[in-house]
Amino acid sequence: MTDPLQPILDLPGVRDAADRARDALAEVHRHRTNRRGWPNTAAEASVRAARASAAIDGGSTELPPPGETGDPVLAGALRVAQSLDGDALANQVSTWRRAPLQALARLHLLAAADVVDDREQLGRPRSEPGVAERLDGLAQLVTGGTSVPAPVLAAVVHGELCSLSPFGVADGVVARAASRLVCVASGLDTHNLGVPEVTWMRRAQAYRDGLAGFGQGTDVGVGGWVIFCCGALEAGAREATSIAEAFGGN
């Protein structure tokens, strides 16, 4: 059967960008601190990722005082981050591998709990024509429908969820979390150490432009988005290295 994502891998620059992302993340996993102390560095990466992800969608980066909810977008991003950290991560990855649409529904419930008026909307994709079909196609890719490198699949999942906006609210937080799940489930970022969200936040206009290009479906647009995401994964590995050095020295 033809791999539907193989043409993306063959676009100029994509394979090299994916290789650089893979090598950078492999290197940070070999950092001395992360050999045993990765639970601590992963927890810090999770918080940084949540704050950056919230900021991309217009939320606050300021953590609320203990006992307070604070900004609803950040609160949702933090709940999502908690579901991808510690013991909870293994459960999420297991669900993602066998039932990715169920995992997406769970992520949306966490991300959007404070930003929707009708709680029955939580975890429920929009009923507009084409939404269910595109989600099913995405699920097929995630569960073995492609053999492209994980950085490419992560970029496609991220881009498709942002472009489709299957839930209509908090889709960005969900999409970036789904990208993380691809990275963990594939073994690209086993301990969830990378923080690509920081790059996407700092380069917000390039992020939006990249998504627009991906949504157009042209070779230039799709290739540009995938390369941009791979670059963010590579930069996210450098962010992870700085976390590891802060925790245990270089």
Q: What is the CATH number of the domain that holds 62?
A: 1.10.3290.10
In percent, the amount of the chain with pLDDT more than 70 equals: 99
Token couple for 52: 């950056």
The C-alpha atoms of residue 186 and residue 183 are separated, in whole angstroms, by 5
Alpha carbon 170 to chain centroid, angstroms:
13
The whole-angstrom separation of Cα 40 and Cα 100 is 27
| Residue 59: exposure state from Cβ atoms within 10 A (0-12, 13-18, ≥19) | buried
52, 218, 229, 244 from 28: Cα distances, Å: 20, 33, 18, 8
- In this structure, what DSSP letter does residue 177 have? H
In this structure, is residue 47 part of a structural domain? yes
Per the domain annotation, does 113 fall within a domain?
Answer: yes
- pLDDT mean across residues, the chain: 95
Structure confidence at residue 106 as a pLDDT band (50, 70, 90): very high
Residue 131 lies in a domain: yes
1 in any annotated domain: no
Contact 44, 37 (CB under 8 A): no
Find where tokens 């290295």 sit.
241
Q: Is residue 42 part of a domain?
A: yes
- pLDDT > 90? residue 125: yes
Is residue 69 scored above 80 in pLDDT?
A: no
CA-to-CA separations, 109 to 103, 104, 137, in angstroms, rounded: 10, 9, 22
Count of domains for the chain: 1
Q: Given pLDDT bands bounded at 50, 70 and 90, which one contains residue 91?
A: very high
DSSP label at residue 63: P
Angle at 175 between CA 174 and CA 177, to 5 degrees: 65
User: Is pLDDT of 63 > 80?
Assistant: yes
Phi, psi of 196, deg, nearest 5 = -65, -20
Domain carrying residue 109: 6-248
DSSP code for 99: -
Query: Over 70: is that where the pLDDT of 249 sits?
Result: no
Contacts of 142 (CB under 8 A, 6+ apart): 96, 97, 100, 153, 157, 182
Mean pLDDT for the stretch of residues 202-218: 97
Where residue 159 falls among pLDDT bands split at 50, 70, 90? very high
Asked if residue 98 is part of any domain, the answer here is: yes
Q: Which residue from 211, 151, 177 is spatially nearest to 89, judged by alpha carbons?
A: 177
| Residue at 218 is within a domain | yes
| Residue range 169-197: mean pLDDT, rounded | 98
Using the predicted structure, report yes or no on whether residue 250 has a pLDDT greater than 60.
Answer: no
Does residue 240 contact residue 194 with C-beta atoms inside 8 Å?
yes
